[in-house]
Structure 1
């Protein structure tokens, strides 16, 4: 990937930057607010709460003496506590020694070990809480599919949907009975691809047979940011009618064609809201989580398919939605750790690690797909930021927690000189990682 290919027309570039800044600012605010509020509850005084670095653009001091500010470089933030030398929470020795005992208790360095540990851990924890709440809210807004299988709305297709109507309950397809969505998906795996199938449905309390298309058509249900499909100009709702001139009816036929291409350029015939067009694109190698753990490398174009219809939904209760949100967050953490391990062992390409340019591109792509996609991306990124900050690298929250663990066992904090050396090493490691990720942004396909 060349640097020039990363720069779209000016409006697109500004949209990407704006989306990235908004996403990052939300996540940073929640992270730093976690540090701030738990410190306040623990008796530690915050002097500055900043979104961004550099020259201050806006500021206000609250009744507790904390200065809340927005700075010119919106790529991070910090909370400066009483007795700190700066944003990194290093001890300002002279000013700290000048404080009396009561004031020292209000500093990060003079607070009890439990208060310091809770304050540091709160940043990543608040990131995870944000993710869980956002995922839960999305699940509640979108709803969960009703059981048994019921059609909510039919997706636009190039051919008539024949006898199916919104509100129909699907009882069987091609002679295969279905009771719920688990059974529906299981039974549909075994049916032959055909342009017309017999559906047994219940409509207005009456069971009847109608004709309908294949239940998993080659329709674009989702697009991955930075994928071949998105770069080529495909949109959600597009229907792929042919691959290299060969007509297809099912999404699995598109998958088979992509897998067989081994990266060769393909021509897709697409139907979009009554208009027919062609797109040329080349599948790309991608590493994906395997069904039984680990990763598998496949040729993909970066689009997902779905059902012929949007299922009728119902709102889940808040506890169920909260549990689903927590499970989604756990899933992202697990996949992230697995992916990192497989990159370290060489099982998958290190190009899977992306830096600020890649994240910014993904932010802009998610925002271009709608508010729900962008909000979902913020939740995913918040999980990633929380996880990264827990790594036991000095200068990160996880590094501070490791120092606190040593203090709890040894009964004293690490030597100041050792701390400075470790912090320097940690900063060097972090800068190296960022440089490597940025290199991937520029040169990985």
Structure 2
């Protein structure tokens, strides 16, 4: 009964923000493929947001079908000479083409052009994130809280390492620390690993070694996360709150750095999952994205746009993983082709795509199961 009576609020509060976030991210990803393909003289047959049956669309003057499809969990650009939406070459069709047709087909293009078209999708995701961060930093600046320790929890990792209230953290594992958020970024993905920390205390620098503990914490929405924790509290003094302003060119540099930080944290976390240091329950799929989109949308439009930037980075990174069907898989095939001087055989390619499909499907099932078992969706209580 709660689900039925709450349908309207779920639609507006969760589904709509989810569709906005995912559509923007997917559109820019596919736009990257599309623009570079056009630049290389490749004929684009279809530009689709979503998969499955077409909901609506139109054909432009170049013959490209722009459409929105029923399943909003991705998108694709189909080129002339492709067998399907995954850009698998239709070699029989290419062999039967005349010279004019081959000149605008994707499989017949030089290796570097095919690689550029494929790489343009993830690159567009990173460019989108950098553009959003640049705009935010130019207009609003960046609010930071000093990496000064206000409190140390008893019997915590920080207490055992010798942290004291008033310490200012200036370096972790050789990386300069500018704010308390920098500390959180470094610590959260390094649970169980010793970190070399330099703190400033009474005007002198001291070296400490601390091993973050893996703990479960709750955010403002009640979502649980398992992260590395030191057991320190940040300063609440107004003098330790800094708003850093940027000129356009420095905002761009800061945006590139912010994008790199998000990439680095994501890679560190996934690496920790593979190594067994980090729990895999934080890996999420479409349900989690929808859940988070609704929560972030409740905070305001600016926060939702910021989520678009972060998700865009994640989508770009995921697509660079060298799994067949993903952009990274295509780039891996092109690298092999460059070394061998010829593409892999049709049999090997077909087998690779089957394996890639199985891997992607398995990952989708895994993250969806994670979402179902760890999130409170449609107002349901967490298990």
Q: Same fold (TM over 0.5)?
A: yes
Q: 2:189 aligns with which of 289, 299, 309?
A: 289
The gaps in structure 1 that reach 5 residues or longer are 146-180, 191-251, 261-286
Counting only pairs closer than 5 Å after superposition, residues 197-216 of structure 1 correspond to structure 2 as none
Q: 2:57 aligns with which of 30, 53, 59?
A: 59
Please report how far the alpha carbon of residue 107 of structure 1 lies from its aligned counterpart in structure 2 after TM superposition.
Answer: 1.1
Residues 1:409 and 1:140: Cα distance change in structure 2 (over 3 Å): same
Q: Structure 1, residues 222-255: CA drift from partner, whole Å, max 9, x if none?
A: xxxxxxxxxxxxxxxxxxxxxxxxxxxxxx58xx
Counting only pairs closer than 5 Å after superposition, residues 225-374 of structure 1 correspond to structure 2 as 252=151, 256=153, 288-290=188-190, 292=195, 296-303=213-220, 307=236, 313=243, 315-374=245-304
More helix by share: 2
Q: Structure 1, residues 51-73: CA drift from partner, whole Å, max 9, x if none?
A: 11222222222222211112222
Q: 2:333 aligns with which of 380, 399, 403?
A: 403
Across the aligned residues of Structure 1 and Structure 2, the Cα RMSD in angstroms comes to: 3.0
User: Which is higher, the Rg of structure 1 or of structure 2?
Assistant: 1
Aligned residue-pair number: 315
**TM-score under structure 2 normalisation?**
0.75
**TM-score under structure 1 normalisation?**
0.65
Tell me if 1:383 matches 2:313.
Answer: yes
What residue is the counterpart of 2:347 in the other structure? 417
User: CA separation in 2, counterparts of 1:314 and 1:338?
Assistant: 27
The gaps in structure 2 that reach 5 residues or longer are 158-186, 197-210, 221-232, 376-383
User: CA separation in 1, counterparts of 2:330 and 2:345?
Assistant: 14
User: CA separation in 1, counterparts of 2:28 and 2:125?
Assistant: 6
Q: What's the secondary structure of 1:412's corresponding residue? A: coil
8 A contact 2:285–2:368 mirrored in 1: yes
What residue is the counterpart of 1:126 in the other structure? 124
Residues 1:119 and 1:295: Cα distance change in structure 2 (over 3 Å): farther
8 A contact 1:289–1:295 mirrored in 2: no
User: CA separation in 2, counterparts of 1:110 and 1:289?
Assistant: 44
Tell me if 1:393 matches 2:323.
Answer: yes
Q: What's the secondary structure of 1:69's corresponding residue? A: strand
Tell me if 1:36 matches 2:31.
Answer: no
Please report how far the alpha carbon of residue 37 of structure 1 lies from its aligned counterpart in structure 2 after TM superposition.
Answer: 0.4
User: CA separation in 2, counterparts of 1:354 and 1:66?
Assistant: 34
8 A contact 2:189–2:278 mirrored in 1: no
Q: Structure 1, residues 20-66: CA drift from partner, whole Å, max 9, x if none?
A: 11101000000000000001111211111111122222222222221
Counting only pairs closer than 5 Å after superposition, residues 185-196 of structure 1 correspond to structure 2 as 185=146, 189=149
